[in-house]
Structure 1
């Protein structure tokens, strides 16, 4: 069986140490083969300040010294609104059906999951790791209502402690 691949998408406007810390933490804690950092080309939830190409280039520069993180440009190249579902389906087609993926989400993104395009299908295509990223708390009291949604049981792993940054 192949090692799981992490998928960390985002606007990355700009990419920062918190994003890299999430990728590194998820890789080490979940024993991921690698983490794909996927800048959103045309995010549907908010308009970025920097262009998609600039954000892609910033991501490439940020991971230059990160051997287990790769930048994947598929969403930037798509030139249509960016949906995680479409990306996971493309990844499945590219890597094969026997490859497992872990969608890495900050707690802020996880709480918005029910607003995503076909979010339950997203859960069919990838495991989900919810991390409490620096600067954002994971309000545990809000987890039960979201986790109680039909089909959610056993589909997400939560890391409620703060992700350490390298300079701490």
Structure 2
């Protein structure tokens, strides 16, 4: 008898059941999409030159344009330093702020993001594919002629990107 009641209850449960499709919609917040910076081309300086005539304050710029000064005021007279090229990748059409910071002195030579300016801040909009290009210019300035050594120099700079 208990068995029969159990089957009947099970049958009643099955005939009284129903289903309904439920759903919902949501929006995404662009700030949750991770921003990335990818170096496409490194900043490149030509060979730096100086002699007794070179003055402190002489510089070489990596802007893609010739350094027009002579050896008294330029560390790379008539040479062309190349800026770095970086892809910034994030949310489609997002507005971002790029901060390029460089203030590093090694053996009498100082790297800055622009001549005498250690900080560059630029607002840019990413394209419909979520991508934009940042061109990173830099300058190396002679700040202490006596400290300069004939060797390879390694400089450090930072590029930081954030959603606005």
TM-score normalised over the length of structure 2: 0.22
Between Structure 1 and Structure 2, the one with more strand by share is 2
Higher Cα radius of gyration = 2
TM-score normalised over the length of structure 1: 0.22
Between Structure 1 and Structure 2, the one with more helix by share is 1
